[in-house]
Chain A
Amino acid sequence: MLSCKESSQLISQSLDRALSIRERLALRLHLLMCDVCSRFVKQMNLLRLAIRRMTQQTEQDENLVLPPEAKKRIADKIDSQHDQSH
């Protein structure tokens, strides 16, 4: 019988790798009996959705722009790199 700690580790890993059949069965058995770990599963799934939503919002946020000074620094760098190679 898995402890809640072992179960939480497997739940996290299941987001990053395919669990073995044995691990899957042990986890399923634990989740059948443990509401708390089942909630952890839901939290982790929600977390993944939320991160993707957050990333999308940042990517589409037109108010977020490369600051003018940064743009200038990069432009200067482009020119100096170009001079070096020619």
Chain B
Amino acid sequence: MEPTTKSCHEWLTEHGDYLYRFALARLRDPHLAEDAVQETLLAAMQGGGYSGKSAPRTWLTGILKHKIIDLIRRQVREQPLEHEEDLPDEPGMDEFFADDNRHWSDKPQSWGAPESVLEQKQFLVILQQCIDRLPKKLANLFLLREVHESGNEEICKELKISSTNAWVMLYRARMGLRKCIELNWLGK
């Protein structure tokens, strides 16, 4: 079944909003999400790959996942973190620890029972704000990792970064997030 402009417009009408939300959840940027949806539909039209085996939405979402990874790969390559930030032992990270790194300088607090925390709208709002405060490429890599169905190795291969580099960035993202959440949610 050869996709035509007509079916492409139909996909935009029927699935555009869903694809946009899917992209927005991962990229957290309306313009990037729009780009991802556009590239998905163009690829769908040109590829001629729709076989009718899966629902169009499932098929389009599969293309979109790759487009999202492409966008994040470009981010990771075009916006390298400042040199020292790429290092695991950069100065900012040491602030999390005291006594020659033996102990936490701001000790992680108890956040309460997971189910009750997740029910709190305020927690999710603050989580989003904290994600948006991270350097964009850290935030996107982190979201990709936490939401993505595939493993870390696969993500690294797709993004063309080393595993070590990914661990360092994910660590930074997690440490930054937990600190931000404690400051703003627990109101320390």
Q: Which residues of A contact B (CB under 8 A)?
A: 3-6, 8-9, 12-13, 15-17, 36-37, 39-40, 42-55, 57-62, 64-67, 70-71, 73-75, 77-79, 81-82, 85
Contacts and interface: CB of A to CB of B under 8 A. Distances in A.
A66 B20 contact: yes
B152 A40 contact: no
A45 B20 contact: no
A43 B88 CA distance: 21
B127 interface: yes
Contacts of A4: 97, 101-104
A10 B38 CA distance: 39
B9 A78 contact: yes
B174 A47 contact: yes
B17 interface: yes
* Majority SS at the chain B contact face: helix
Contacts of A74: 12, 16, 34, 37-38, 41
Contact of A46 (B25, B103, B114): B114
Contacts of B88: 9
Given A3-B102, A58-B24, A16 B118 contact: no
Interface stretch (B68-76, B79-87, B105-113): B105-113
Contacts of B153: 17
Given A50-B118, A64-B24, A5 B96 contact: yes
Most chain B CB atoms below 10 A, which of A37, A57, A58: A58
Given A9-B171, A43-B111, A70-B34, A48 B146 contact: yes
B8 interface: yes
A58 B21 contact: yes
A66 B11 CA distance: 13
A82 B101 contact: no
Given A16-B166, A48-B146, A54 B46 contact: no
Contacts of A49: 114, 118
A33 to B, nearest CB: 12
Contact of B37 (A5, A8, A53, A66): A66
Contacts of A46: 111, 114, 117-118
Given A12-B167, A39-B110, A43-B111, A50 B123 contact: yes
**8 closest Cβ contacts across the A-B interface?**
A58-B25, A5-B101, A66-B20, A16-B152, A51-B146, A12-B171, A39-B108, A82-B5
